[in-house]
């Protein structure tokens, strides 16, 4: 996946990875190296696209956070479902490393108005959010990071995991079958 911490689109990164391992064999299994696609895998369209590129499987992250059985707090699931297409943002304030969270005023303030402070703190090995909590412990709950992928803006409901999987597979099969019928050899 690319959107949590990188700027390379998955539609570029996936083929590049597939090309890199083409013809290579795993030293552990003796089998061809398998590529698992990740990033924006939330429905059958992503699954079908990844399989069409040549991925062996997909890694589903954020969609399963918004699953009934997920151990995520109810609030986390609600934040994902209510996010819009621009409702996530990358930041380093929570870990010192880039990660994607639900956008809120706290994160936006750090990312837009306190960039010099972020650079200063992280260059010293200090996590900006932790430093802020030392000064203002009362903001602990209201500034909690709700980790997510950019795909959160497309997820509109909390469903049982089995239904998520069934929906993905059914939709992918329909798409792949339809697409196969569009390709006709001309000799």
Kindly report the three-state secondary structure assignment for every residue of 129-172: HHHHHHHCHHHCCCCCCCECCHHHHHCCCCECHHHHHHHHHHHH
Residue 68 to residue 3: CA distance in whole angstroms: 24
What is the band of 86 on the pLDDT scale with cuts at 50, 70, 90?
A: very high
Tokens describing residue 98: 């880039």
Residue 158 to residue 5: CA distance in whole angstroms: 25
As a whole number, mean pLDDT of residues 130-140 equals: 95
pLDDT value at 2 more than 50: no
Residue 102 to residue 63: CA distance in whole angstroms: 14
- Bridge partners, residue 58, by sequence: 37
pLDDT confidence of residue 186: 66
Residue pair 12/23 in contact (Cβ under 8 Å)? The answer is no
What is the band of 138 on the pLDDT scale with cuts at 50, 70, 90?
A: very high
């Amino acid at each position: 996946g690319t959107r949590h911490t990188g700027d390379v689109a998955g539609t570029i990164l996936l083929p590049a990875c597939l090309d890199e391992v083409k013809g290579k064999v795993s030293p552990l299994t003796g089998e061809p190296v398998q590529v698992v696609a990740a990033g924006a895998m939330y429905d059958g369209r992503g699954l079908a696209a990844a399989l069409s590129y040549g991925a062996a499987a997909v890694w589903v992250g954020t969609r399963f956070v918004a699953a009934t059985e997920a151990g995520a707090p109810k609030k986390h699931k609600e934040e994902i479902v209510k996010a819009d297409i621009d409702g996530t943002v990358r930041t380093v304030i929570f870990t010192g490393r880039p990660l994607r969270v639900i956008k809120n005023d706290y994160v936006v303030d750090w990312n837009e108005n306190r960039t010099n402070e972020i650079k200063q703190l992280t260059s010293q090995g200090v996590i900006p959010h932790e430093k802020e909590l030392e000064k203002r412990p009362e903001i602990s709950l209201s500034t909690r990071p709700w980790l997510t992928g950019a795909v959160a803006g497309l997820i509109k409901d909390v469903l049982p995991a089995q239904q998520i999987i069934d929906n993905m597979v059914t939709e992918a099969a329909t798409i792949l079958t339809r697409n196969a019928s569009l390709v006709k050899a001309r000799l």
